[in-house]
Structure formats: structure tokens, C-alpha cells
Amino acid sequence: MLVKLYSILILVAAATGTARAQSGCTDPQATNYNAGATSNDGSCQYPTTTTALFTKATLPSAVNESSGLLYTGGSVWTHNDSGNSATLFRVDSTSGQVLQQVAISNFPNTDWEDLAASAQYVYIGDFGNNNGDRRDLRILRVAKTDLGASATTATAQAINFSYPDQTDFTPRTNAHNFDCEAFFFANDSLHLFTKNWVDLRTRYYTVPAAPGTHVARLRGTFNTNGLVTAAALNPAGTTAALLGYNATNGSTFLWLLSGYQGAGYLRANKRRIELPNALLIGQAEGLCFVKNGRVFISNEQISNALLTVPPRLYALGLGAWIPTTALAAKTMRPAGRFTAVPNPAQQTLRVERTTGEEASLLLQNMLGQVVLAVPLAGGQLTLDLDLSPVESGQYVLRLQSAHGVVAQKLTVR
């Protein structure tokens, strides 16, 4: 009887373990990747990642305080910060030249901070609130049809809102948590991320994307360890990004959020990319996706007795750090399966796959850098991969074809 009961307990424990394994970290690039997980729980952890930016163009003096950035309809739009005219600028992404200026005739630039877009409208975030005392927070909605190539003026509709948790409006310059400079549009709502001066976190709110007066809905908080200055969502809706900096030391960062369901952006896997210091790239303020895995970033000019950093437009490819499932269209077909033995491996790795389409086998380190790349011809089902040039450590092995990507974690000794 005891033996039988013991056997039953083992089976129950095994079944429980299997059930728990269904939820976990599904990104092979993470240090805590769970190969048995079938749904992401936002627990993925990543090594520190640092990258450079590619300078696309120097922006003209007309937009030396580029505060928001938007890519829509094949064009790049920006605007200046508070104290400037209520004007949208369409700029050339190669030369930085201003191609068009459209003045918003019925609202001032109280403190414009970010841009977003839906299929029909462009949204201007007039919600900058350095003193924490604004009672006229609003988002301006402009029809895209009013921003045609010949347009010089346009009118906007106001989406007025307030924070449900703000009761104190005593002016406190840069000493409160009710500033905001970041938002994007998704699923008929505007998704706002605050710039918390006190605790260096961000609070996530949603506001209906319709004119009127609304109370924002608080969805959650996230420790960004810095001041969030812009937000963007990629075209597929599978990756969100938060741009920001730390005013104490000038460190600049980009948080990548992926693996979420619906609007659960704060339940996503969160990966922080360290960008060059503000002393090199200025105060990073504008962010937009131009492809699922590529962003543009703009900065406000820094000009003082000690330092001058001109306003620029930068580009950054994110493909190495975004899970392939988040980069690809949701209709991606499976890429088949493969086995790689032994694991851990030393000199040679035997790779066998189940399908024979043309493909590439990529070995990436935990920073997302490709250290080995081997093409696989059509019909080739096996490969002996020489690991002798590879240093010991943790890697991700990816099989990539036109049907998609499959991956597994690999240890090399």
C-alpha cells in the first residue's frame, strides 16, 4: 500500500511540475529561459546590454528642441517643446531638412511632449507638467487628411483628462510624480507613461482616444530607474518601447517590452538597453518605430558654456534584442523543429532538423550578437557544427527560415 501511494504521489508531483512549466520565460535570449514554457509570464531576465546609436541627420535650428517623434505614412514628424510655436514639422530622415510646417491654429503649445497616431488621426500630447500644477492636461487630435503635403495650418480637437490619483496641485518644479512625456495609440485608447521626478518610476494610464473630458485610468507602475521621455509601439503591436534618461548622471536608456497579451504592457518581459550618455547624444526626447525592429530617436539641443550637443535624428536596430515572435507577423508559420546534442557541448554540436527548407543556423551570445552563422541548403537535415572558435558560456541557437524561427539555449564548455 505504501509503495502504491508513493507511486501516486510521484505522478501527482510530476503532473504538477508539468502544469507549472507551461507558464514562464519563453525568450531563449533570457538568462532564465524555460524551454518547457508555452506562455510568457513576464519573468524574463536579461544581462546588461549596451549599444551605440547611428546618426541619421543633424536637425535644423527650427526644431532644436525636438520633443516628440512620429513615423506615419512614410514621413517623419516632430515638434518643439514648450515655449515654442504650436507647429508640426515634417522632416527628411536623411538630411534632417524641414519639408513641411503645419501650424495648429486653435491651440497653443503649452507643453507638447510626444506624438502618436492611429489610422485616421495624429495625436499631440500636450501634457508636459514640470510644476505638477496643470489642470488643463490635454491631447490634441488632428485628422491626417488635414496634414496633406500642401497643408500649412490645421485645427485640432481636444481630449481633456485628469489623473484620478492627483489631489495636490501645489507647484513643485521637478519634485512630483504627475509629469508626462510619453504615450502611444492602441486599441482605441491612448496609453500614457508618466515621468516621475520623485521615485524614478513610471505610472501607466489609459485615456479614451475621443474628444471630451476624461479621467485617466491607472493601470499599474513600473520601476524604470529614470525619467521616461517618450513611448512607442511597433507596427505589429508586439513590442513597446520606453525612452528616458537619469538626470543625476545623464545615463540614457530604452526599455523594450515584449511577450505581453492584449494591453498588458507592464506584464511583459522587460529588457533595458543602455544608450550613450546624454553628454554624447543630448537629452533624448523623441522615439518612434519605423519597422517592427527599428526605431528613430531625437534629442533636444544642449548648449551651454561647457557643452554643445546639436539636435539630431538617430537610428537603432532592435532585432537582436526582440524575441523573433515579437518581430514577425502574427501569422508566421512554424519553422519546424530541431535537436542539438550534446548540451552542454564542447568541440562539436550535432544538429538535426525535421524539415528541409533553406535556412540559416545562428549562434548568438546573450547580448544578441551572432558569433556563428551557417547556411543550410534545401534538403539538408543534419549538420555537425564546429564549436572550437566559440568561447565557453551561454548562447542561443536559432534555426531561421522563411517559415519562421525556432530556438533553444545552449551551453558551450
Rounded to an integer, the average pLDDT of 33-55 is 88
C-alpha to C-alpha distance for 313 and 287, rounded to whole angstroms: 10
Angle at 305 between CA 249 and CA 62, to 5 degrees: 90
pLDDT level of residue 327 (50, 70, 90 thresholds): low
Amino acid at residue number 85: S
pLDDT of residue 37: 80
Instruction: Select from 338, 257, 287, 54 the least CA-distant residue to 181.
Output: 287
> What backbone phi and psi angles, to 5 degrees, belong to 146?
-85, 0
Instruction: Select from 159, 167, 163, 162 the least CA-distant residue to 142.
Output: 159
What cell numbers appear for 244 in the block?
528616458
Q: Give the CA count within 13 Å in the CB-facing half-sphere of 399.
A: 26
What cell numbers appear for 395 in the block?
548562447
> What backbone phi and psi angles, to 5 degrees, belong to 276?
-55, 150
**Lowest-confidence region among 48-57, 83-92, 381-390:** 381-390
Amino acid at residue number 270: K
Residue 7: count of CB within 10 angstroms of its CB? 10
Rounded to an integer, the average pLDDT of 240-267 is 95
Largest CA distance in the chain: 87
Category of 346 on φ-ψ map: left (φ > 0), alpha (ψ -120 to 50) or beta:
alpha
What cell numbers appear for 285 in the block?
526626447
C-alpha to C-alpha distance for 86 and 161, rounded to whole angstroms: 20
SS3 157: strand
pLDDT level of residue 62 (50, 70, 90 thresholds): very high
Residue 286 near residue 297 (C-beta atoms within 8 A): yes
Q: How many helices (H) and strands (E) does the chain have?
A: 3, 34
Q: What is the pLDDT of residues 336-352, one digit of tens each?
A: 688 899 999 988 999 99
pLDDT level of residue 371 (50, 70, 90 thresholds): confident
Q: Is the pLDDT of residue 206 over 90?
A: yes
Cross-strand bridge partners of residue 23 = 39
- Please indicate whether residue 79 or residue 408 has the higher confidence score (pLDDT): 79
pTM here is 0.79
pLDDT of residue 388: 87
Cross-strand bridge partners of residue 364 = 370, 396
pLDDT of residue 328: 59
pLDDT level of residue 404 (50, 70, 90 thresholds): low
Q: What is the DSSP letter of 90?
A: E
What Cα–Cα distance (Å) separates residue 36 from each residue in 23, 180, 256, 371?
8, 39, 23, 26
SS3 7: helix
pLDDT of residue 403: 62
Task: Please name the residue that has the C-alpha cell 501569422.
Answer: 331
Q: What is the pLDDT of residues 215-237, one digit of tens each?
A: 999 999 999 999 999 999 999 99
- Please indicate whether residue 163 or residue 261 has the higher confidence score (pLDDT): 163
C-alpha to C-alpha distance for 118 and 148, rounded to whole angstroms: 16
Q: What is the pLDDT of residues 108-153, one digit of tens each?
A: 999 999 999 999 999 999 999 999 999 999 999 999 999 999 999 9
What cell numbers appear for 161 in the block?
483628462
Question: Where are the alpha helices (H) located in 21-142, listed in sequence order?
Answer: none
> With 0-12 CB in 10 A as exposed, 13-18 as middle and 19+ as buried, what is 59?
buried
Helix (H) or strand (E) run with residue 404 in it: strand 404-412
Residue 218 near residue 165 (C-beta atoms within 8 A): yes
Q: Is the pLDDT of residue 209 over 90?
A: yes
Task: Please name the residue that has the C-alpha cell 566559440.
Answer: 390
Residue 147 near residue 104 (C-beta atoms within 8 A): no
Q: Is the pLDDT of residue 107 over 50?
A: yes
pLDDT over 70 for what percent of the chain? 91
SS3 84: coil
Residue 105: count of CB within 10 angstroms of its CB? 11
What the chain holds in terms of domains, given with CATH numbers, is 21-46 (no CATH), 51-327 (2.120.10.30), 335-413 (2.60.40.1930)
SS3 362: strand
pLDDT over 90 for what percent of the chain? 69
Q: Is the pLDDT of residue 361 over 50?
A: yes
Is the N-terminal amide bond of 211 cis, ω within 30° of 0?
A: no
